[in-house]
Amino acid sequence: MPRPARPLAANKPSLNGKAAETGAPVPRAQAVYKALRRAIIEQALKPGVKLPEDAIGEQLGVSRTLVREAFGRLAVEGLVELKPNRGANVAYPTLEEARDVFEVRRGLERLVAENLAGRLTPAQSAELEAHVRLEEKAHEQDGPESIRLSGEFHIKLAEMTGNALLLRYVQEASSRCSLILAIYGRPHSSECAVSEHRQLIEALRAGDAARAAALMDHHLQSVVTRALLAPRGERDIRDVLAPYALSEGLTPS
């Protein structure tokens, strides 16, 4: 299918040379990785979609080699499924995997809360407050902005721990949650209650580690029940088609 090849990633001004004095000669493989990652998280590439090496490489202006490299990393992070000899797809987590992710995420973020309790600098505290105010603003219009901000709140917290590994894991879990919500989430429910964020900040500032951890725990727990309880789509076409078949008097095997 011939389509006009318009490079999706036109963000590499000078690929030869030193990237215009910006310091690091970043390998393009990483650029491909980031591009795909964003596309998946923002649901431009929907869960389950096929990812042919050729097409993507062409679109991004690189060879299959780099695309494959990116696939490998995305697969490790659970954003892409890699089947031998059958190529790559955007991951399509099962409900069970979804629960696993949320459970791990709860554990990680509880750690974040404990780590941060009583150790927030005034600047950090203020930053969080400001963020929550943004969330409230966005919440009124109830756009996709609201969802993004909710997620960023948690990332910000993880950053503030100064623990790079913890941050990476939280980010990873968070990315996978995007996927999961794309599949099983309710259409426009903003996942996080802003008030819960407020309470959390309060507990952190008070240095009450136990309470902060409990709040975080409860918070994420309620995210699950709010967003995840109503499975919307099914993985298998059969599941999608079953009701249609029945209404037409056909009997799925």
Partner DNA sequence: AAGAACCGTATTGTATGCGATTATTGAAGA
Partner DNA sequence: TCTTCAATAATCGCATACAATACGGTTCTT
Could you list the residues that contact DNA (CB under 7 A)? 16-17, 25, 27-29, 51-55, 61-66, 68, 84-88
**Interior/surface letters 114-141, b for 16+ CB within 10 angstroms, e for the rest:** bbbbeebeeebeeebeebbebbeebbee
**For residue 59, which of 1, 2, 8 has the smallest C-alpha distance?**
8
User: 48 touches which of its own copies, DNA, none (CB within 5 to 8 A by kind)?
Assistant: none
String marking each residue 85-124 x if it binds its own copies according to CB under 8 A: x-----------x--xx-xx-xxx-xx---x---------
68/139 with CB nearer its own copies: 68
Shortest Å distance, C-beta 145 to DNA = 33
Query: Checking DSSP bridges between strand 80-83 and strand 87-90, what pairing results, if any?
Result: antiparallel
3-class DSSP assignment, residue 96: helix
49 vs 85: CA distance, rounded Å: 16
Binding mask 134-173 for its own copies (x = CB under 8 A): -----------------------------xxxx--x---x
Using the minimum distance from each CB to DNA, give the nearer residue, 52 or 162.
52
Question: Comparing C-alpha atoms, which of 252, 249, 250, 210 is closest to residue 234?
Answer: 252
Rule CB under 8 A: which of 43-82 touch its own copies? 65, 68-69, 72-73, 76-78
Number of H-type helices and E-type strands within the chain: 10, 3
Contact set with its own copies (CB under 8 A): 24-27, 29, 65, 68-69, 72-73, 76-78, 84-85, 97, 100-101, 103-104, 106-108, 110-111, 115, 163-166, 169, 173
